[in-house]
Amino acid sequence: MSKCHIFLVIQFLFLFEKCHCEVYTAMVDLEDLLDTEHVLINTLENYLKAEEQKLDILRGYINVYKKQQNKARNDPQLYLGNPLNAYTLVKRLTADWSQVETLISTNVNADALANITYFKENMKFPTDEDLNGAAVALMRLQDTYQLDTSSLARGELNGVKYSSELTAADCFELGRQSYNNGDFYHTRLWMEEAETRLKREANETVHKTDILEYLAFSTYKEGNIPLALDLTNKLLELIPEHTRAVGNKNFFEDQLKEVVQTKPAQRKGDDESAEVETAGVKFYKPNYDDPESKDLYEALCRGEVTIPIEIKTQLRCRYVSNNNPFLKIAPFKVEEANLEPDLFIFHDVMSDDEIATIKRLAQPRFQRATVQNSRTGELEVAHYRISKSAWLKNEEHKHIAAVSQRVEDMTGLTMKTAEELQVVNYGIGGHYDPHFDFARREETNSFKNLNSGNRIATVLFYMSDVAQGGATVFPVARAAIWPKKGTAAFWYNLFPSGDGDRRTRHAACPVLAGSKWVCNKWIHERGQEFRRPCTKERPPEELTV
């Protein structure tokens, strides 16, 4: 996957090209949405005030009209016998009435609509794509962290209550988004939750019939036709003339008849097999042995799988000064996070000031992290890398240069051939699926234009604490490094022979709660010849890639 990294370098040059503005992909963009909402609330309030003023005046008119009308009705002749009354009646229906008409036709909403149009063009505004992206991200979090639907709907993440509860309509929308993505499993989960929540709502936020329709169809898509028919019948009890439901009912009944005709003895069995299938999900035995498996990756993200105890007991912490006189006074605090491959955690290697500078400089340049399609060569956003990133040069600020120098001190490697500092912010469920930082053997063209060899090592700084999730995990090593503000992870991607180390395959787990900021320095081979001498000796074939 190092091709994507390469592309990120190149993409810097095309900064002003096309804007991938998906706001859900970075927490900083989502923060801007709060400003947008604030402005919209003000506009709506102004609009309501204007509308109410207008209504108040109209109410005033109606009171006068009613009062006179009542007087007149009691004794019309007496009323109209008074010339003043006769005059005011005529006035009310001419001069006054035309004012009423003017008021009724006054568009107090035009101003509000014009403002809203303006804000939509000039402020950060989410799109339907954002809504879908945010919904998909929630489903990813639900799966990775095995969150049950009703806790999530109560605003709980892993037992911690973070937000207010979702309404039935919120759940319905999550189901609808899943449906549009062809994800019928999550459609069913969220439509069922919407139905449960609806029962408790005094003022219903969604129609039960809409829920039933989605529920029936996703149930059918999951293969449970009898239940789909049941749900459709329930819907028809509420709206007998529902055209689509009538059509679906016939369709489901035909499907069931076919089943009866082809497998008469199995009809009841069909019902059961669906149940077994549902139950099967529950008793699914996860595969934690294959380093490539999603199960292992997700278990590492949840902290349920850790490095073997016999390795854990060998891990040490130490002070490192690398013979550097400055570091003798304040040596680095280094913790081993794994052996074979060596993974190191450096503590307190980035100050709050430096973090603030890096965030400030990166933020206006954030671009949705993109990757190159290996088949078409097209640049595109990928579901497996959801974040926004930007690149910073040493010359831009003394803090950037200081961080670069620190990486040199930490690793003993030269920064002359290193890439610029890459800054990344993750949004809702932001993550990066397992990948290598280096170019694999077949990716011979990857770093050609840099003329600095392959990515020998990675230093990854954590610039925020993350409340839940967001670990950096290494499935082959079964190791996980949890974000802690000011710390940095370091590892060699390549063996001294120059072969890529398969065991460094790593991933950024989805952020469950909080905002994750990291920045990284990718260090290249060229210039390290005396600092990390190459060897002719090749590592075992199965460890390289």
Q: What is the DSSP letter of 367?
A: E
Is residue 111 within the footprint of ligand NAG (CB under 6 A)? yes
Burial label for 335, CB within 10 Å (0-12, 13-18, 19+), is: middle
Size of the site for ligand NAG (CB under 6 A): 8
- Does position 112 bind ligand NAG by CB under 6 A? yes
Mark residue 149 as left, alpha or beta (left: phi above 0; alpha: psi -120 to 50; beta: remaining). Answer: alpha
Q: How far is the CB of 208 from ligand NAG (least distance, A)?
A: 17
Q: Which stretch binds ligand NAG (CB under 6 A): 108-116, 150-158, 392-400, 532-540?
A: 108-116
CA 441 – CA 447 distance, rounded (Å): 12
Beta bridge partners of 344: 336, 490
3 state DSSP class of 456: strand
Minimum distance from residue 51 beta carbon to ligand NAG (Å): 10
Identify whether the C-beta of residue 410 lies closer than 8 Å to the C-beta of residue 459: yes
Stretch that binds ligand NAG, among 110-118, 297-305, 393-401, 406-414 (CB under 6 A): 110-118
Find the binder of ligand NAG among 115, 181, 233, 273 (CB under 6 A). Answer: 115
User: Pick from 112, 124, 238, 219: which is nearest to 175 by CA?
Assistant: 219
Does the footprint of ligand NAG cover residue 43 (CB under 6 A)?
yes
DSSP 7-70: HHHHHGGGTTS-----GGG-HHHHHHHHHHHHHHHHHHHHHHHHHHHHHHHHHHHHHHHHHHHH
Minimum distance from residue 153 beta carbon to ligand NAG (Å):
17
Please identify, using beta-carbon distances, which residue of 115 and 321 lies nearer to ligand NAG. 115
Nearer Cβ to ligand NAG (118/319): 118
Q: Which tokens belong to 22?
A: 């998906």
- How far apart are CB 395 and ligand NAG at their closest, in Å? 41
Q: Of the two residues 43 and 493, which places its CB atom closer to ligand NAG in the complex?
A: 43
Q: Which is nearer to ligand NAG, 116 or 379 (CB)?
A: 116
Residue with smaller CB distance to ligand NAG, 46 or 132? 46
In the complex, what is the shortest distance from the CB of residue 111 to ligand NAG, in angstroms, rounded to a whole number?
5
| 3 state DSSP class of 509 | coil
The answer to whether residue 125 forms part of the interface with ligand NAG (CB under 6 A) is: no
Shorter beta-carbon distance to ligand NAG: residue 199 or 285: 199
Q: Determine which residue in the list 77, 102, 105, 203 makes contact with ligand NAG, applying CB under 6 A.
A: 203
Q: Which is nearer to ligand NAG, 54 or 526 (CB)?
A: 54
Give the CA diameter of the chain: 120
Smallest separation (angstroms) from ligand NAG to the CB of 46: 4
- Tell the smallest beta-carbon distance from residue 44 to ligand NAG (Å): 8
Strands 388-392 and 511-513: unpaired
Residue number, 109 or 314, with CB nearest to ligand NAG: 109
Q: Whose Cβ is closer to ligand NAG: residue 36's or residue 324's?
A: 36
Q: Which is nearer to ligand NAG, 63 or 106 (CB)?
A: 106
Choose, by CB under 6 A, the member of 12, 47, 119, 482 that binds ligand NAG.
47
- Structural element, H or E, at residue 385: strand 385-386
Q: Is 454 exposed, middle or buried (0-12, 13-18, 19+ CB in 10 A)?
A: buried
Range in contact with ligand NAG (rule: CB under 6 A) among 109-117, 263-271, 356-364, 413-421: 109-117
Options 9, 12, 33, 46; binder of ligand NAG; rule CB under 6 A: 46
Nearer Cβ to ligand NAG (36/85): 36
Among 202, 281, 309, 329, binds ligand NAG (CB under 6 A): 202
User: b/e map of 205-232 (b: 16 or more CB within 10 Å)?
Assistant: ebebebbbbbbbbbbbbbebbbbbbebb
Residue 295 CA: distances (Å) to CA of 285, 299, 352, 483: 10, 6, 36, 22
Give me the least distance between CB of 56 and ligand NAG, in Å please: 17
The C-alpha atoms of residue 263 and residue 358 are separated, in whole angstroms, by 66
Does 65 bind ligand NAG (CB under 6 A)? Our answer is no
Within 8 A by CB and 6+ apart from 37, the residues are none
DSSP characters over 478-508: TEEE---TT-EEEEESB-TTS-BBGGG-EEE
Is 164 a binder of ligand NAG (CB under 6 A)?
A: no
Residue number with CB closer to ligand NAG (73 or 200): 200
Closest separation in Å from C-beta 106 to ligand NAG: 13
- Torsion angle, alpha carbons of 11, 16, 22, 23, to 10: 110
353 binds ligand NAG (CB under 6 A): no
Binding site for ligand NAG (CB under 6 A): 43, 46-47, 111-112, 115, 202-203
